Amino acid sequence: MAFVYNFPLFSIILSMFSAIISSVLSGKWAKRVSLIMVCLVLLMSSGLLVYTHSTGEAVTYMMGHFPAPWGNEIRFGVLEAVMAVFFSIVMLLSLLGGMSHVFADVEDTKTNLFFVLIDMTMSSLLAMIYTNDLFTGYVFVEINTIAAAGLIMIRQHGHSLVASIRYLVMSSIGSGLFLIALSILYGITGELLMVPARDGVQVLRESGNYSLPLLLSLGLMSVAMAIKSGLYPFHTWIPDTYGYSTTTASAVLSSLVSKAYIILLIKIYVRVFGYAYADAGHILNVLFVLGLVAMVMGSVEAIRQRDVNRMIAYSSVAQIGYIYMGLGLGTEAALMASLFHIMTHAATKSMLFVSMTGLREASGGKTDRRSLSGAGYRNPLAGITFLVGSLSMVGFPMLSGFISKLLFARAAIGVSGKMLPALLVLALSTILNAIYFLRVVITIYSPQGSDAPLDNVMDDEGHVLTPEAYQEAERAKLQTEGVFLAPKAGALVKNGPLMSVAMVLMMLLNFFLGLCSGPITEALLAGLRIFG
Amino acid sequence: MSNYFLLFPILFPVVAGVLVMTLFKGIKERKIKLGIVFVSLVVETAAFLYSLFGPEEGLMLWKLNDMLQITFRVDTMSRIFGTLVAVVWLLVGCFAFEYMKHEESEERFFGFYLVVEGTLAALTMADNMITYYIFFEAMTLTSLPLVLHEMHKAAVMAGLKYLFYSIAGGFMALLAVFLLANGGGLGSFTAGGILDPASLAERPGAVLAAAMLLVLGFGTKAGMFPMHGWLPTAHPEAPAPASAVLSGIITKMGVLGIIRGIYYVIGPSFLKGTWVQTVWLILSISTVFMGSMLAYREKVMKKRLAYSTVSQVSYILFGLAVMDPAAFTGAIAHVIFHSLVKNTLFLAAGAIIYKTGKTLIADLKAIGKEMPVVIWCFTLVSLTLVGIPPTSGFVSKWYLATGALASGVPVFSWLGPVILLVSALLTAGYLLPVTIHGFFPGADFDYSTLKKKEPTLWMLIPMVIMTAGAVIYGIFPESLLTVIRSAAQVLFG
pLDDT of residue B424: 93
CB contacts < 8 A (A, B): 72
Cβ-contact B343, B244 below 8 angstroms: yes
pLDDT of residue A88: 95
- Closest chain A residue to the Cα of B206, Cα to Cα: A413
Question: HEC profile for A445-505?
Answer: CCCCCCCHHHCCCECCCCCECCHHHHHHHHHHHHHHHCCCCCCCCCCCCCCCHHHHHHHHH
pTM: 0.85
Q: How many helices (H) and strands (E) does chain B have?
A: 21, 2
Mutate which: A429, A444, A446, vs B, most B CBs within 10 A: A446
Query: B473: which residues sit within 8 A by CB, 6+ positions away?
Result: B336, B337, B340, B392, B395, B480
Spell out which residues of chain B touch residue A454, defining contact as CB-CB under 8 Å. 153, 156-157
In this structure, how many other beta carbons lie within 10 angstroms of the beta carbon of residue A209?
A: 11
Q: Is the pLDDT of residue B121 over 70?
A: yes
How far is residue A128 from each of residues A15, A51, A140, A532, measured CA to CA in Å? 13, 21, 7, 15
Q: How many CA atoms lie within 13 A of A280 on its CB side?
A: 9
Percent of chain B past pLDDT 90, that is, above it, reads 59
Please answer yes or no on whether B148 and A442 come within 8 Å at the CB atom.
yes
Residue A444 distance to chain B (closest CA, Å): 12
Torsion angle in degrees (nearest 10) through CA of B215, B221, B223, B228: 100
Residue B214 distance to chain A (closest CA, Å): 14
Task: Please give chain A's pLDDT, 532 residues, in tens.
Answer: 678 888 999 999 999 999 999 999 988 899 999 999 999 999 999 999 999 999 888 888 887 777 766 678 888 999 999 999 999 999 999 999 988 888 888 888 888 899 999 999 999 999 999 998 899 999 999 999 999 999 998 887 888 888 889 999 999 999 999 999 999 999 998 888 888 888 889 898 888 888 899 999 999 999 999 999 999 889 888 888 888 888 899 999 999 999 999 999 999 999 998 888 888 878 899 999 999 999 999 999 999 988 898 999 999 999 999 999 999 998 889 999 999 999 999 999 999 999 998 898 888 888 888 888 888 888 889 999 999 999 999 988 889 999 999 899 889 887 888 888 998 899 899 889 988 898 899 888 887 654 444 444 555 555 555 555 655 665 555 555 444 444 454 567 777 888 999 999 999 999 999 888 888 999 999 998 888 7
Spell out which residues of chain A touch residue B178, defining contact as CB-CB under 8 Å. 406, 409-410, 413, 423
Query: B434: which residues sit within 8 A by CB, 6+ positions away?
Result: B301, B361, B364, B367, B375, B378, B382
Cβ-contact A524, A340 below 8 angstroms: yes
pLDDT tens per residue, range B210-221: 999 999 999 999
Spell out which residues of chain A touch residue B130, defining contact as CB-CB under 8 Å. 397
**Exposure class string for A479-490: b at 16+ Cβ within 10 A, else e:** eeeeeeebbeee
Cβ-contact A435, A427 below 8 angstroms: no
**Exposure class string for A165-198: b at 16+ Cβ within 10 A, else e:** ebbbebbeebbebbbebbebbbebbebbbbbbbb
Q: B136: phi > 0 → left, psi -120 to 50 → alpha, else beta; which?
A: alpha
Domain boundaries, chain A: 282-448+486-532
| Distance, CA of B88 to CA of B335 (rounded, Å) | 13
| Distance, CA of A231 to CA of A234 (rounded, Å) | 5
Spell out which residues of chain A touch residue B164, defining contact as CB-CB under 8 Å. 431, 434-435
Please answer yes or no on whether A430 and B138 come within 8 Å at the CB atom.
no
Which residue type is seen at A54?
S
The CA-based angle B325-B396-B467, given to 5 degrees, is: 145
Mutate which: A438, A444, A468, A521, vs B, most B CBs within 10 A: A438
Please answer yes or no on whether B178 and A423 come within 8 Å at the CB atom.
yes
Please answer yes or no on whether B156 and A451 come within 8 Å at the CB atom.
yes
The CA-based angle B354-B357-B358, given to 5 degrees, is: 120
The minimal CB distance from A396 to the residues B68, B141, B172 is found for B141
The number of angstroms, rounded, from the C-alpha of A446 to the middle of its chain's C-alpha atoms is: 30
| Distance, CA of B175 to CA of B214 (rounded, Å) | 8
Mutate which: A450, A468, A511, vs B, most B CBs within 10 A: A450
Residue A421 distance to chain B (closest CA, Å): 13
Spell out which residues of chain B touch residue A446, defining contact as CB-CB under 8 Å. 151, 156
pLDDT tens per residue, range B376-408: 999 999 999 999 888 899 999 999 999 999 988
Q: Is A29 exposed, middle or buried (0-12, 13-18, 19+ CB in 10 A)?
A: middle
Please answer yes or no on whether A521 and B175 come within 8 Å at the CB atom.
no
Q: Is B236 exposed, middle or buried (0-12, 13-18, 19+ CB in 10 A)?
A: buried
| Distance, CA of B216 to CA of A183 (rounded, Å) | 55
Q: Taken in order A20, A24, A28, A29, is the CA torsion positive or negative?
A: negative
Please answer yes or no on whether A431 and B168 come within 8 Å at the CB atom.
yes
Spell out which residues of chain A touch residue B141, defining contact as CB-CB under 8 Å. 391, 396
Please answer yes or no on whether A454 and B156 come within 8 Å at the CB atom.
yes
Residue A215 distance to chain B (closest CA, Å): 36
How far is residue B191 from each of residues A319, B253, B262, B269, measured CA to CA in Å? 40, 18, 10, 11
Average pLDDT score over chain B: 90
Q: Taken in order A97, A99, A102, A104, is the CA torsion positive or negative?
A: negative
pLDDT of residue A484: 44
The minimal CB distance from A413 to the residues B68, B168, B182 is found for B182
* Beta-sheet pairing, B69-72 with A59-63: unpaired
Domain boundaries, chain B: 273-493
Mutate which: B61, B63, B133, B156, vs A, most A CBs within 10 A: B156
Mutate which: B25, B64, B131, B166, vs A, most A CBs within 10 A: B64
Interface of B with A (CB under 8 A): 62-66, 68, 130, 133-134, 137-138, 141, 148, 151-153, 156-157, 159-160, 163-164, 167-168, 171-172, 174-175, 178-179, 181-182
Please answer yes or no on whether A431 and B167 come within 8 Å at the CB atom.
yes
Q: Is the pLDDT of residue B39 over 70?
A: yes
Mutate which: B177, B178, B199, vs A, most A CBs within 10 A: B178
Residue A339's nearest CA partner among A269, A396, A279, A434 is A269
Residue A151 distance to chain B (closest CA, Å): 38
| Distance, CA of A461 to CA of A415 (rounded, Å) | 59
Please answer yes or no on whether A454 and B153 come within 8 Å at the CB atom.
yes
| Distance, CA of B136 to CA of B229 (rounded, Å) | 19
Please answer yes or no on whether A450 and B182 come within 8 Å at the CB atom.
no
pLDDT tens per residue, range B322-343: 999 999 999 999 999 999 999 9
Residue B64 distance to chain A (closest CA, Å): 5
pLDDT tens per residue, range B296-323: 999 999 999 999 999 999 999 999 999 9
Residue B393's nearest CA partner among B421, B354, B353, B412 is B421
Residue A389's nearest CA partner among A353, A352, A433 is A352
Please answer yes or no on whether A396 and B66 come within 8 Å at the CB atom.
no
| Distance, CA of A481 to CA of A417 (rounded, Å) | 59
pLDDT tens per residue, range B172-181: 999 898 888 8
Residue B138 distance to chain A (closest CA, Å): 8
Which residue type is seen at B363?
D
User: Does the ipTM exceed 0.90?
Assistant: no
Please answer yes or no on whether A403 and B65 come within 8 Å at the CB atom.
yes
The C-alpha R_g of chain A, in whole angstroms, comes to: 23
Please answer yes or no on whether A398 and B134 come within 8 Å at the CB atom.
yes
Please answer yes or no on whether B175 and A423 come within 8 Å at the CB atom.
yes
The minimal CB distance from A397 to the residues B134, B153, B163 is found for B134
The number of angstroms, rounded, from the C-alpha of A449 to the middle of its chain's C-alpha atoms is: 33
| Distance, CA of A512 to CA of B315 (rounded, Å) | 43
